[in-house]
Amino acid sequence: MKSLWQESEASKCKDELDMRVYTSRLLGSDPALVLHGGGNTSVKIRETDITGKEQDILYVKGSGWDLATIERPGFAPVKMDHLLALAKLDSLSDPQMVNELKTHVTVASAPTPSVEAILHAILPFKFVDHTHADSIVTVTNTPGGKEKIKEIYGDSVVVVDYIMPGFDLARQCARQFAEEAHEKTVGMVLLNHGIFSFADTAKESYELMIELVTRAEDYIKSKNAWVVSENVQQVEVSPIRKELAQVRRDVSKAAGKSMLLCSDRSSKAMEFIARGDISKISQQGPATPDHVIRTKRLPMLGRDVDKYVKDYKAFFDKNSKNTKEPVTMLDPAPRVILDPELGLLGVGTSANDANIVLELYDHTIDVISRASKLGEFCALPAKDIFDVEYWDLEQAKLRKGGRPPEFAGEVALVTGAASGIGKACCEALLAKGAAVIGMDISPDVETVFDRADFIGVVGDVGDEEQVINALEIGVRAFGGLDMLVLNAGIFPGGCALSELDLKTWRKVMSINLDGNVALLREAHPILKNSPKGGRVVFIASKNVLAPGPGAAAYSASKAALTQLARIAALEWGKDNIRINVLHPDAVYDTGLWTEEVLEARAKHYGMSVADYKARNVLKAEVTSKDVANLCAEMCGQLFAKTTGVQIAIDGGNERVI
C-alpha cells in the first residue's frame, strides 16, 4: 500500500480541520482501507467560544458522511471535557451515549458524532485515524489471529479483543491503552474490527496507517496467501434473465417489498462460488461486523429462499431470547446470493444499495480467501453478529426511516430513451425511485444519465436480437422487470397514400409495431414475475383516434399497436399485468418533430407552423414531461385497478372529443 500524500495538495490546507479533511479523503479513496461510510477520523482543536472561553474540541466524523467525499461540515465538533468525563463512567447505554454526544456539540447543525467519539477522545494525540483495512481483518479472522498480529507488530500496537462499537469498547480501549502504551506505541488493533493510528500531525498519522497496513499485507504475501484470483473478466453464460426474475420475485416476497438484484459474474466471483468448500466457508459469517447491517449474517447459497428464511428465523429466535430489550425481527430476505449459474448477487431496495452489497462482498471474498490460505477463516460467533444487526442504535434508525419512493425496488424499461418523451419517462420513473433500463438506437442513451440506477443499452427495437439483448443486459443489471414503456417510434415526413412506397411503409411498421411485438413476447415471463404485478404503457398517438392526411404509415402502425395493447390487456390480466395506452399529440419538444416534419404537417392542414402548434382546445403547450408524468402515474397505485384504457394527452382535440 502506497502513501497518496502530496505536499502540493496539503499546502493548500488553511488549518488543522482542512488537513483533517485532506487525509480523511486519502484514506477514503482506498477501498482496501475504507468502504461505504466505514472508518472514522478525528482531530483535537483548541478554540475560543463566543464568551471568550477557551476549550478543547474533538472534530470527529459525523454519521452519514463518507471519508472518500467528506467536507468540513462532515465533522461534528464535540466538547472534549465532556467526552473525557463520560469515559470515566462505569456504565452508559448506547442510546444515552448518543444523546450525550448530540447535546454537547458546539454547532447546532452538526451531524450526529460517531459512536466512537469517546474512543477518539481518550487517545492522547491530535490526529486519530481508524480504518477497517482488509489485511487487518484477514489476519484477525484466523485461528491465532491475535498471536499473528503480535508477530507482525510486536509491542508497537495495543491489541484489543473484539467488543461491539460503543461505550464498552471505548472504556476497554482506554484501560488497555493506559496500561500497555509506551513511547514506541504507534497504533491499536481491534480484533475482527480494524486498526487505529495516531500522531500529532495529520501526515504522520496518515502515513503510520499506510505503514501499519502495508506490514499486514506483506505478512499475508509472505505466507503466499495474497492472490485471490488473477483473472477478473466477466464470464459469459446462456441467458439468465428468466431465472433472475424468479429469484428476485422470491426474495421480494420474503422481504415484503420489491427488491433489486445486481449481479457480478466476474471470474473472481465465479471461482469463489465454485469452491468445493463453499457451503462451509461462506457460512461462517461476515468479514467484519461493520458489514452485517448491509449484507446480513450469511449469504444465500443457490435459490432456495424459503430455506434461507427458515434458517434466518431460527437464528433470530435463538439469539433474541437473551436481549436486554425486546426486538422485532427484520425482514429475513438475503442480501447476498451465491449461485453457480447466476453468480454473485447483491440485493437492495435501490441499485446503489445493491451495488454497495456487491462491493462489500467482493472484499469479503478477498478476506475469506486469504484467511483460508493462512489457516482457516473464522468469523465472530453468531451472537456477536446478531448483537450488531439488532443494535439498539440501528433499530432506532430503522424506526426513524421515512416513507420510501413509490417505485423503490422496482425496474422499468423505456424504449426511445435517449431523447424526447422517452428521456422524460426515464426521468419521471427515476424520480419515483425506479431503476431504469433505457434502450435507444442512439449511442447517447449510454450517457444520458450518470447514476447507479440507470443503464443505457444501444439497440434497434426493429431488430429482434437487439431487443432480446437489451432485456438480458437490463435484467442482469437490476434483477427483473416491473414496468415497460413502449415509446420508440419514427414519424416520416408527410406523404400522400398515393405516393407511399412499400420500403417506407415496412420501415415504419418494423420500428413502430414489429419490434414491440418481440419485446412484449420476451418481456412477458419477466413481467409475470414482478413482485407487485407488471405494468405496460404504450405510447401511441392521437392519430389512432383522429388520423390526418399524409401520415398513413405512422397512423396505421400506431393503430395496430393500440390494437395489440388491447389484446395484451385481455390475455395478460390473468398474469397480473396491466396494459394501458397514452395518445399524445402536439408534443413538439421531441426528436420526431423536426422543422421539416412540422412544416410538412402544417402544410397539410393549410396552417403556419405557429398556428399548427397551438391547435388544441385548451391552447395549452403539451410537453414531453407532461406525457412522462402521466405515464409514470399509470404505472403507479393510482391506476392499480385499470387496464385496457386509452387516454389522450393532447390539450383537447376537437376531432377526438
The answer on 285 and 166 residing in a single domain is no
Tally Cβ neighbours within 10 Å of residue 54: 8
The answer on 49 and 110 residing in a single domain is yes
pLDDT in tens, 402-414: 789 999 999 999 9
Cell numbers that stand for 655 in this block: 376531432
The answer on 304 and 274 residing in a single domain is yes
Cβ partners under 8 Å of residue 183, min gap 6: none
- Domain housing 552: 411-434+483-649
**What's the N-to-C CA distance of the chain in angstroms?**
71
pLDDT in tens, 564-591: 999 999 999 999 999 999 999 888 887 6
- What integer pLDDT is reported at residue 128 of this predicted model? 98
pLDDT of 550 higher than 80: no
Task: Please report whether residue 291 resides in a domain.
Answer: yes
The answer on 300 and 211 residing in a single domain is no
Structure confidence at residue 345 as a pLDDT band (50, 70, 90): very high
The SS3 call for residue 282 is: coil
Tally Cβ neighbours within 10 Å of residue 403: 6
The answer on 193 and 59 residing in a single domain is yes
Task: Please report whether residue 399 resides in a domain.
Answer: no
The answer on 423 and 348 residing in a single domain is no
Q: What is the pTM of this model?
A: 0.91
The SS3 call for residue 82 is: helix
DSSP string, 6-51: -HHHHTT--SHHHHHHHHHHHHHT-TTT--TT--EEEEEEEEE-TT
**Last-in-domain residue among 334, 359, 389:** 389
Task: Please report whether residue 230 resides in a domain.
Answer: no
User: Nearest 5°: phi and psi at 62?
Assistant: -90, 155
Cell numbers that stand for 496 in this block: 400522400
Task: Please report whether residue 234 resides in a domain.
Answer: no
Q: Domain total for the chain?
A: 3
Task: Please report whether residue 469 resides in a domain.
Answer: no
**CATH number of domain containing 625:** 3.40.50.720
The SS3 call for residue 158 is: strand
The answer on 199 and 254 residing in a single domain is no
What would the mean pLDDT of 546-555 be, rounded to a whole number?
82
The answer on 318 and 289 residing in a single domain is yes
Sheet holding 336-339, edge to edge: 260-264, 343-348, 336-339, 300-301
Catalytic positions are: 554
The answer on 623 and 534 residing in a single domain is yes
The answer on 212 and 166 residing in a single domain is yes
Q: How far apart are CA 148 and CA 154, in angstroms?
A: 10
Identify the bridge partners of residue 45 per DSSP, sorted by sequence position. Answer: 57
Task: Please report whether residue 463 resides in a domain.
Answer: no
The answer on 195 and 64 residing in a single domain is yes
Kindly report the average pLDDT of the chain as a whole number. 92
pLDDT of 400 higher than 70: no
Task: Please report whether residue 1 resides in a domain.
Answer: no
pLDDT in tens, 438-482: 999 999 999 999 999 999 999 999 899 999 999 999 999 999 999
Identify the bridge partners of residue 485 per DSSP, sorted by sequence position. Answer: 414, 537
The answer on 263 and 180 residing in a single domain is no
Identify the bridge partners of residue 412 per DSSP, sorted by sequence position. Answer: 436, 483
Q: How far apart are CA 7 and CA 16, in angstroms?
A: 15
Task: Please report whether residue 546 resides in a domain.
Answer: yes
**CATH number of domain containing 191:** 3.40.225.10
Widest CA span of the chain, in angstroms? 98
Q: What is the 3-state secondary structure (H, E, C) of 418-478?
A: CCHHHHHHHHHHHHCCCEEEEEECCHHHHCCCCCCCEEEEECCCCCHHHHHHHHHHHHHHH
Q: Determine which helix (DSSP H) or strand (DSSP E) holds 245, and give its type and residue range.
A: helix 241-255
pLDDT in tens, 235-272: 677 899 999 999 999 999 999 999 999 999 999 999 99
